[in-house]
Homo-oligomer: A and B are copies of this chain.
Amino acid sequence: MSLFEPSVESSIAQVRTDIALLHAELTKNDLVVWTGGNVSGRVPGADLFVIKPSGVLYEDLAPENMILCRLDGTVVAGTAGAERSPSSDTAAHAYVYRNMPEVGGVVHTHSTYATAWAARAEAIPCVITAMADEFGGEIPIGPFAIIGDDSIGRGIVQTLTGHRSRAVLMQNHGPFTIGKNARDAVKAAVMVEDVARTVQAARAGGPLVPIPQAAIDSLFDRYQNVYGQAPQGAL
């Protein structure tokens, strides 16, 4: 007996597959070590999302051990994987889904260079055109917050609401990224590490040359509306 209508069950199955596969992008792009990092995705047409189990090795991830959660962060009992604990960051993901209805995917990593900026509580300045394209300006710092209540989720939502950037560097912690779906949030996680590494390397060698704000605006507008095989739209 299914818990949900067939169309929702079908969406859940698709999101489970997507989320399991997208975790491979985290290892392929050297964003995580051991069991660190997590990807989640909203189930279209339902108040549900799918997330990685806690403390499970990347090579053991499969659609059937992804965990289905409600938007309050509780696990849906009786579904595949529900015997395991969800990622210890589940409350933060849930808070984002409850408070940012346009968000379809959330990613968290401790990738090296993004976390380095976070340990300095320093926003990444926008000095490369790829960063203007993807993030529309600087990548902001979120507040210091630790696990145990909604403070991480609240910090993400407060920092990114109304901001062009799909990435926030939570102070002393690491990057969280959002996207219109899980794939888009993974792309943001890959790109935030790429720009964090490049801008750190750039500044290590001498003064940075700023990009004029009008050029940043123009690049962001074009990239969000023209790039790729179909319009993406800013989040």
Q: Within 8 Å of chain B (Cβ to Cβ): is A198? A: yes
Q: How many copies does the complex hold?
A: 4
Residues of B contacting A118 in the complex (Cβ-Cβ under 8 angstroms): 128, 202
Contact A190 B34 (CB under 8 A): yes
Residues of B contacting A54 in the complex (Cβ-Cβ under 8 angstroms): 227-229
Residue of B nearest to A204 (CB): B204
* Contact residues of A between 148 and 201, Cβ < 8 Å to B: 148, 171-174, 187, 190-191, 194, 197-201
* Contact residues of A between 41 and 64, Cβ < 8 Å to B: 53-56
Q: Within 8 Å of chain B (Cβ to Cβ): is A147? A: yes
Residues of B contacting A224 in the complex (Cβ-Cβ under 8 angstroms): none
CA distance in complex: A77, B34 (Å): 36
Q: Within 8 Å of chain B (Cβ to Cβ): is A98? A: no
Q: Which of B55, B120, B229 contacts A228 (CB 8 A)?
A: B55
Residues of B contacting A174 in the complex (Cβ-Cβ under 8 angstroms): 128-130
Residues of B contacting A199 in the complex (Cβ-Cβ under 8 angstroms): 116, 119
